[in-house]
Chains A and B, each alone.
Chain A
Amino acid sequence: MSVLAPKFKLSEFIKSLFDNAFWALLLVSLVGLPLIQVVLFYIEMPVINGELLTPFLALTWLADPSRSLPIVKAFMATDMFRVMVFPGFGFAALLAAGTIFVERKMLAKLQLRVGPFYCGKIEGILQLAGDGLKLISKEIIIPAKADKPIFWAAPVIFVATAAAFVALIPVAPGGWVVADVDLGLLGVFAIIGFFPIITILSAWSANSKFPFIGGIRALFQMVSFEIPLILSLLGVVIVTGTLNLSEISASQSFFPWIVFLPVGAIVFFITMLAELERIPFDLPEAESEIVAGWLTEFSGMMYGLVQLGTYLKLYAFAALFVVLFLGGWNGPMIVPPFPEEILTEGIVLGPVTAKFPGLPLFDQAMLNGTLWFVIKTVGVIFFILLPRGVFPRIRIDMLLSLGWTKLIGLAFVNIFIALGLLYAGVLGPGGLQ
C-alpha cells in the first residue's frame, strides 16, 4: 500500500480516466461544436473555388487544409476579432501581462535581487499564471455590512471601463481600432472621468474605514489631476484640428508632436502617473497608512479583476501617450515585404509542394505599424514603471498643490505654445506639414 495515497486503487483510477474522457466527449459534441457553429454564423464566409463557404461546410477544412487560412482571414475581418483579440482586449491583456513580468524583473534588478525565479523554469515567466490561478482559487470574502450589489459590481465595472478605454486606441494603419470614433479624445476624457466614480462607489460600499479614506483620497487625486490632463491634451487638438485618434496618429507621419509640445507631454506624463495611482502618487493604496486603500476589502478574484483593470488602464494610458505625442504607428519601414515566391509557387519540401491560398494574413504596413506602436508603448511603460524604484510616496497636500497650481499653469503654457505655433504658420496649413 502506498504511503502517499493510502486509498489508491488502480482499477478506480482507470475508471476515473474513462469517466473524464466520456464527459469531455459529451460536452464537446453537445456544447462545443454547436457553439463553434453559432460563432461561424456571424462570420462573413469567404468564397473558395467559386463557391461560397457556408457555416455547414466550415469544418471541411479538416478534410481540405487549403480552406483553413481563408476561414481565419474571414474571422479576422469580423468585429468580434477586433474586440476580443486584436487590437482589443487580448492584445491589451497580453501587453499588460508582459508589463507585470517586466515590472517585477526590472524592479528586482534595481534592488539587487532576482525577482520571480522558479515558476516556469525560465526566469519565473509563469509566475503571473500561478498568481492568477491562486487568486481564482481563493475564497471571496465580503464584509458583513457591505452594500453587496455595488461591492460585487465595482471590480467588473472597473475592468469594463478600462477595456472601453482600450477600445479607443488605434494600433495600426488601415482601421485597426475597435471603435473609430470621430470624437475619440472626448470619449477618452469621458472614460477617465468615470474611474473616480467606480473608486468611490467600491470604497463606500465596503463600509469599512480604510477603504473609505482610500476612496476619498483617490477621488481627490483623480479629480484634481483630470483638469491638467485634459488641458495638456488640448495643445495637440489645436495643432491637429481633430479629436479622432486615428487622424491624430496619421498627422504625425513626419514628426511626433513631442518635438513641438514637450511641455504638454511632460504634464500629461505626470498626470498619467497620478491617474494610474503609481508611485510616487500611490496615496490611495498607501500601505503603511491605510493598509491597501480602496482595495482593502477585495479578496480572491475580485482583487484579481481590479489588478487586471489597473494594468489595462496602464497600457491604455501609455498607448494614448504614444498616439498623441510619439507618433503612434508611424516609423521607418523595417518589416520586410512578404516573399512573393511563396504566394506564386508555394514552399517546396522535397517532393511535396505546399501551397497556401489566402496568404498574406496581414499587409506590410499594418505589421510595421503594429511593431512601431508596440516598441513605443513598451518604452513609455518602462518610464511609467521606473519611478517605483526611485521615489518615495508623496503626501496628499503636496499632491493637491502640485495638481492645482503647477501642472495647470504648465498646461496653459503648453496651450499658448500650440497657439503660437499655429498663428506663426509653423504648423497647420502651409506649415511644416
Chain B
Amino acid sequence: MTAELPPGLALQKVDERIMTLNVGPQHPGSGHMRIVVQIDGDYIVACDPDPGYVHRGEEKMAEYRNYITNIPHLERPVIHDSCNVLYPYVLGAEEILGIEVPERAKYVRVIASELNRCIYTQYWLAIYGIFLGHSTMFMWPAGDRELLIDLMEKMSGARVTHAHFVPGGVRNDLPANFEDACLRQVNYFEKRIKEYAAVFYDNPILISRTKDTGVLSKQDAIRLGTTGSVLRASGVDYDLRIKEPYDVYEELDVHTNVMKEGDSYARSKVPWLDMMESCNIIRQALQKMPKSGSVRTKLKPNPKTKGPETVYKRVESGRGSLGCYIVSDGKTEPYRVKMSVGSFRNLIALPYLLKGEKLGNMPSVYWSLNYWPVEADR
C-alpha cells in the first residue's frame, strides 16, 4: 500500500480554502463536457474545460467513405446547423472533383445556410436564456425556430439533419411557391425576434448581470484566436462572408454587427443582431435568384478525383469560421478530412475569462462563447 504512486496519480495538494467543483458532464449547466472549476468562496480561481465526451471520430470515418457518402455523417457535429457544417466540405469536394455549380444552386445554398444559421442561433439563445434563469427566453426562441424549421422541411424534406448540400449543388430543387412562403415566414420571424429586446435584451436585471463580466479585449480576442460572434463582440470586424466571400455572397449586400464592449452582454447580443442580418440576406437572395434552371450537376455514383490534391475551404458558420481541409490521393475516398471548428477556438478563451469571476457568472460567460460541445469533439 505504501508503494509510491506514479506521477499524475498522486493526490494533488491544494489549499483548504479551495473547493473543486466538477461542473459536468452530468450537470444541467455544462452541456456534453466537463468544466473543472476551483472556487475560493464565490470566486473562481482556476478553470479547466475538459471536452471530449462526445468524440465520434467523424474525421476518421470520412476516410472510409467516398465523397458522396460522407455527406450524411459529416453534418452530425451540429445537427441544428447542418447546412453550414457541411458547406466547407462540399466546397472542397467540388474543387477536388472538378465540377461546376449551377447559379441557382448557389443561391439556394445561401438561403439554406442563412436559415440554418438562424435555427442554430435560436437554439443557442434558448439555452442562454435558461442558463440565466429566464424560462420565457427558453420557450420563445425554441418556438420561433419552428417557423424556419418548417421552411427547411419544405426545402429538403428533413426537419433537422437535412443532408441537402451535395458536391455539385443541392439535392433537390425548391418546391412550388417556396419563395412566397419563405418571404412571409422570414418577415414574421424578424418581427418576432425584435420582440426579444423587450423581454430579454433591455431587461435591467439581465444588463446588470452580464455587463462588464468576462471582458475579452480586442487584443486578447485576436491573440487567443477566437472567431465568429465572440470576435465581433470584442470589436474586430471579421466575417468570412465579406472577407473571403464564397458562392454568391459577394453579389449580396452583407453587413456585420460589431460591438466594442467584449463582455457577456455583447457576446449574447451579436448573434441576435446577426439573425436580423440573415433575414436581410435571405430577402436579397430570394430577389436575385434565377427563377428557373438546374440546381445540381449530376455526378457518377462513385466519382473519381482529378489526382492528388489538397484544398482548404472555410465558411462563416453560426459559431465562427469553420474550415475543412481535404487531402486527396486520387482515389474515390479522401485520404484525410480535417475540420477546424469555431467552437473549439472559442473554448480556449474560457479559462482566461473565468479566472477571477464569480461563480454566478460562470453559466453566462461559458455559454456566451457560442460553444457547441459536440462540434468541438467531432
Residue ID in chain A nearest B131 by CB atoms = A288
Q: How far is the CA of A42 from the CA of B29 in the complex (A)?
A: 55
What B residues does A398 contact at CB under 8 A?
Answer: 208-209
Of residues 89 through 130 on chain B, the ones whose CB sits less than 8 Å from some CB of chain A are 129-130
0/1 interface trace, chain A 391-419, chain B, CB 8 Å (1 if under): 11111111000000000000000000000
What A residues does B21 contact at CB under 8 A?
Answer: 209-210
- Determine whether B52 belongs to the interface, using a CB cutoff of 8 Å to chain A: no
What B residues does A282 contact at CB under 8 A?
Answer: 133
Q: Are B29 and A287 closer than 8 Å at their CB atoms?
A: yes
What A residues does B139 contact at CB under 8 A?
Answer: 111-113
Which range holds the interface residue count of chain A? 20 to 34
What A residues does B361 contact at CB under 8 A?
Answer: 395
Q: Are B133 and A107 closer than 8 Å at their CB atoms?
A: no
Q: Are A393 and B28 closer than 8 Å at their CB atoms?
A: no
Q: How far is the CA of A112 from the CA of B132 in the complex (A)?
A: 20
Given the contacts A209-B19, A209-B21, A392-B206, A286 and B133 also touching, CB distance less than 8 Å? yes
Name which of B129, B132, B143, B200 has the most chain A CB atoms within 10 A of its CB.
B132
CB distance from A193 to the nearest CB of B (A): 24
Residue ID in chain A nearest B20 by CB atoms = A209
Q: Is the interface of B mostly helix, strand, loop or mixed?
A: helix
Partner of A291, one of B19, B27, B129, B140: B27
Q: Are B209 and A390 closer than 8 Å at their CB atoms?
A: no
Q: Are A395 and B28 closer than 8 Å at their CB atoms?
A: no
Residue ID in chain B nearest A389 by CB atoms = B136
Q: Are A288 and B29 closer than 8 Å at their CB atoms?
A: yes
What B residues does A389 contact at CB under 8 A?
Answer: 135-136
Name which of A291, A390, A395 has the most chain B CB atoms within 10 A of its CB.
A395
Of residues 194 through 242 on chain B, the ones whose CB sits less than 8 Å from some CB of chain A are 199-200, 203, 205-206, 208-209
0/1 interface trace, chain B 358-374, chain A, CB 8 Å (1 if under): 11111100000000000
Q: Are A288 and B209 closer than 8 Å at their CB atoms?
A: no
- Determine whether B154 belongs to the interface, using a CB cutoff of 8 Å to chain A: no
Q: Are A391 and B360 closer than 8 Å at their CB atoms?
A: no
What B residues does A289 contact at CB under 8 A?
Answer: 29, 359-360, 362-363
Given the contacts A107-B135, A111-B140, A288-B130, A392 and B205 also touching, CB distance less than 8 Å? yes
Q: How far is the CA of A393 from the CA of B128 in the complex (A)?
A: 12
Partner of A396, one of B29, B137, B206, B358: B358
Of residues 126 through 155 on chain A, the ones whose CB sits less than 8 Å from some CB of chain B are none
Q: How far is the CA of A391 from the CA of B362 in the complex (A)?
A: 18
0/1 interface trace, chain B 1-41, chain A, CB 8 Å (1 if under): 00000000000000000010100000111000000000000
Given the contacts A279-B133, A288-B133, A289-B362, A391 and B208 also touching, CB distance less than 8 Å? no
Given the contacts A289-B29, A289-B362, A398-B208, A391 and B134 also touching, CB distance less than 8 Å? yes
CB distance from A365 to the nearest CB of B (A): 42
Of residues 369 through 393 on chain A, the ones whose CB sits less than 8 Å from some CB of chain B are 388-393
Q: Are B134 and A396 closer than 8 Å at their CB atoms?
A: no
CB distance from A126 to the nearest CB of B (A): 23
CB distance from B124 to the nearest CB of A (A): 14
What B residues does A288 contact at CB under 8 A?
Answer: 28-29, 130-133, 363
Q: How far is the CA of A103 from the CA of B21 in the complex (A)?
A: 33
Name which of A112, A288, A388 has the most chain B CB atoms within 10 A of its CB.
A288
- Determine whether A283 belongs to the interface, using a CB cutoff of 8 Å to chain B: yes
Given the contacts A111-B139, A288-B130, A394 and B209 also touching, CB distance less than 8 Å? yes
Q: How far is the CA of A388 from the CA of B134 in the complex (A)?
A: 7
Partner of B135, one of A111, A210, A213: A111
- Determine whether B42 belongs to the interface, using a CB cutoff of 8 Å to chain A: yes
Given the contacts A111-B140, A288-B363, A291-B28, A280 and B205 also touching, CB distance less than 8 Å? yes
Q: How far is the CA of A392 from the CA of B135 in the complex (A)?
A: 8
Q: Are B134 and A286 closer than 8 Å at their CB atoms?
A: no
- Determine whether A26 belongs to the interface, using a CB cutoff of 8 Å to chain B: no
Q: Are A388 and B29 closer than 8 Å at their CB atoms?
A: no
CB distance from B201 to the nearest CB of A (A): 11
0/1 interface trace, chain B 281-313, chain A, CB 8 Å (1 if under): 000000000000000000000000000000000
Given the contacts A279-B133, A389-B135, A396 and B360 also touching, CB distance less than 8 Å? yes
What B residues does A392 contact at CB under 8 A?
Answer: 129, 132-134, 137, 200, 203, 205-206, 209
0/1 interface trace, chain A 283-305, chain B, CB 8 Å (1 if under): 10011111100000000000000
Q: How far is the CA of A168 from the CA of B14 in the complex (A)?
A: 50
Partner of B28, one of A280, A287, A388: A287
Name which of B135, B137, B206 has the most chain A CB atoms within 10 A of its CB.
B135
Q: Are A111 and B136 closer than 8 Å at their CB atoms?
A: yes
Q: Are A286 and B143 closer than 8 Å at their CB atoms?
A: no
CB distance from B281 to the nearest CB of A (A): 27
Partner of A287, one of B129, B133, B208, B362: B133
CB distance from B78 to the nearest CB of A (A): 21
0/1 interface trace, chain A 258-282, chain B, CB 8 Å (1 if under): 0000000000000000000001101
- Determine whether A110 belongs to the interface, using a CB cutoff of 8 Å to chain B: yes
Q: Are A391 and B205 closer than 8 Å at their CB atoms?
A: yes
What A residues does B138 contact at CB under 8 A?
Answer: 111
Q: How far is the CA of A209 from the CA of B129 in the complex (A)?
A: 25
What A residues does B135 contact at CB under 8 A?
Answer: 107, 111, 388-389
CB distance from B191 to the nearest CB of A (A): 14
0/1 interface trace, chain A 96-130, chain B, CB 8 Å (1 if under): 00000000000100111100000000000000000
Q: How far is the CA of A110 from the CA of B140 in the complex (A)?
A: 10
Q: How far is the CA of A289 from the CA of B39 in the complex (A)?
A: 12
CB<8 Å pairs between A and B, sample of 20: A113-B139, A213-B359, A282-B133, A287-B28, A287-B29, A287-B130, A287-B133, A288-B363, A289-B359, A290-B359, A388-B135, A389-B136, A390-B136, A391-B134, A392-B133, A392-B205, A392-B206, A395-B209, A396-B358, A396-B360
- B interface residues (Cβ-Cβ under 8 A, vs A): 19, 21, 27-29, 42, 129-140, 143, 199-200, 203, 205-206, 208-209, 358-363
| 9 closest A-B pairs by CB | A393-B133, A288-B29, A111-B139, A288-B363, A392-B134, A392-B132, A288-B131, A395-B360, A389-B136
- A interface residues (Cβ-Cβ under 8 A, vs B): 107, 110-113, 209-210, 213, 279-280, 282-283, 286-291, 388-398
Other than A395-B209, A396-B42, give 20 A-B pairs with Cβ distance below 8 A. A111-B136, A111-B139, A113-B143, A209-B21, A287-B133, A288-B29, A288-B131, A288-B133, A289-B359, A289-B363, A291-B27, A390-B136, A391-B134, A392-B206, A392-B209, A393-B209, A395-B360, A395-B361, A396-B358, A398-B208
